[in-house]
Structure 1
Amino acid sequence: MFVIAHRGASADYPELTATAFTEAFLQGADGVECDVRLTRCGELVCIHDPIVDRVSDGRGRVSTHTVEQLREYNFGTEEAPSAPCTLDELLDIMDDHPDKHLFIESKHPMRYGRMLEEELVKTLRYRGLLADPHIHVISFSGSAIHRIQQLAPALDRIYLRNDPNAWYHRIRELTIQPTAVGLSMRTAREHIRDHTLPPSSYVWTVDDPEDMTLCRDSGVQWLATNLPALAREVVDRGTGH
């Protein structure tokens, strides 16, 4: 089982900052997960929410700001200020960890629609990563997954199932052709109980040691957690390391 740091080592550092990503690898993560949104100037930034109020000292929508405007806000702490991390900056960090995995969540709905996937594919193409097995695109948006399939069919594509509409999403999978599915921990428990856990499953967000152990012993492939150091300990315990 691979330990994926959800928004970086986000339990210990401000989420989706360069520090959170670099510290995740120091804590033993096999990869990191990020959310990407498109700014007004066409730059991809790692910000989860559509507005910046919760994660910075600024206000307003990501989509109405340029990167330079976003850099005027503090996305870190008062003691350790931080600018928002762009996808390019995160890819620079990944260059120092070529054996690690990157899960990029395409965030929708948003005003720029398919432009988000187009810019994402353009960025990955420029870096020669369109067929890299360490790069995974994930999304709750079936349309986003389908666009990635059309634009970059060699990329791994993980469709995140929303719990309230799981039946719809299972039907949707037949048309959008994901390479794997992502499940919440609550839904994963149901699949594990019924012995129907999909192969190559990605499970989020797993912070309880008992849930980590259950995932490890049930064949979950990718475990997304805010606590990569703890998850690393649980996984290694099960493998005898």
Structure 2
Amino acid sequence: MHIIAHRGFRSRYPEMSQVAFEKALELPIHGVECDVRLSSDGELMCFHDPTLLRIFKDSRRVSTVTAAELRELGVLSFDELLNMVLDYNNRHLYIESKHPMRFGRMLEEQIVLKLRYRKLVDDPRMHYISFSATGVRRIARMAPNMHTVRLLRDWEPWGRAEGLSLEHAKAHPEKITDNTYLYTVNEPEDIRWAERRGIAMLATDVPDVALSQQTNQ
């Protein structure tokens, strides 16, 4: 079972901060997950929410703030995170695009352009995940060799999706496949349940706990 640090090591450090990713990458895990949005000047930045309110008590939308302003607040750029991940030969990066947003398809275009520029668009360590079926289709067209995961929200009718929440997977264990991405699993008993069910990829806020619960290490 591949352990993926959800937004870095966010149970111990500020989510998606430099230190959260540094500490996660130091662990012997499969990889890290990050959310990406576009700044007002079109740069890919690692941030989950549409606004800065929850993290920085600032009501502005991320899409209205420049990359330089976001960096001053401590937001990592996608380039900076890529550099950190590539310092390791065997760490994977799961890139989640956040939709809906005013830039639309430009978000996927910039992801592919950045990866192509860095000669990573066909690298098996790079993965794209999203709740947006449209976003997944865009990546499939622009980067057909890239591994994609369509995430399913709990309220959505069942469709073709590889990414399931823990609650959905427990309610529909028959839907688990050899390629299921399970989010976000933090309790030791749930981690053990996921391993018994043969979950391929497990996103967690507590990668250290997930490591301690694995029986097949």
Q: Is 1:130 aligned to residue 109 of structure 2?
A: no
> 2:14: which partner in 1?
14
RMSD: 1.2
Partners of 2:117 and 2:182 lie apart in 1 by 30
Tell me the alpha carbon deviations over residues 158-204 of structure 1, each in whole angstroms, 9 at most, x when there is no partner: 0001111132xx1xx3xxxxxx6100000111232xx3312200000
Structure 2: segments with no counterpart, 5+ residues? none
- How far did 1:121 drift? 0.3
Q: Which amino acid aligns with 1:109?
A: P
> 1:108: which partner in 2?
99
Identity among equivalent positions (%) equals 44
Aligned counterpart for 1:205 among listed residues 154, 164, 184: 184
> 1:84: which partner in 2?
75
| Secondary structure of 2:162 counterpart | strand
Aligned counterpart for 2:171 among listed residues 190, 194, 199: 190
Q: Which amino acid aligns with 2:167?
A: R
> 2:130: which partner in 1?
139
Q: Is residue 28–residue 228 contact of structure 1 (8 Å, CA) maintained in 2?
A: no
TM-score by length of 2: 0.96
Partners of 2:175 and 2:205 lie apart in 1 by 26
Q: Is residue 9–residue 15 contact of structure 1 (8 Å, CA) maintained in 2?
A: yes
Partners of 2:139 and 2:4 lie apart in 1 by 21
Tell me the alpha carbon deviations over residues 118-149 of structure 1, each in whole angstroms, 9 at most, x when there is no partner: 00000000111111111110000010000001
Structure 1 residues 1-241: aligned runs within 5 Å: 1-73=1-73, 83-167=74-158, 170=159, 173=160, 181-192=162-173, 195-235=174-214, 238-239=215-216, 241=217
Structure 1: segments with no counterpart, 5+ residues? 74-82, 174-179
Partners of 2:71 and 2:21 lie apart in 1 by 18
Q: Is residue 25–residue 85 contact of structure 2 (8 Å, CA) maintained in 1?
A: no
- How far did 1:56 drift? 2.0
Q: Which amino acid aligns with 1:45?
A: M
- How far did 1:57 drift? 4.6
Q: Is residue 51–residue 58 contact of structure 2 (8 Å, CA) maintained in 1?
A: no
Aligned length: 217
| Secondary structure of 1:71 counterpart | helix
Q: Is residue 28–residue 229 contact of structure 1 (8 Å, CA) maintained in 2?
A: no
TM-score by length of 1: 0.87
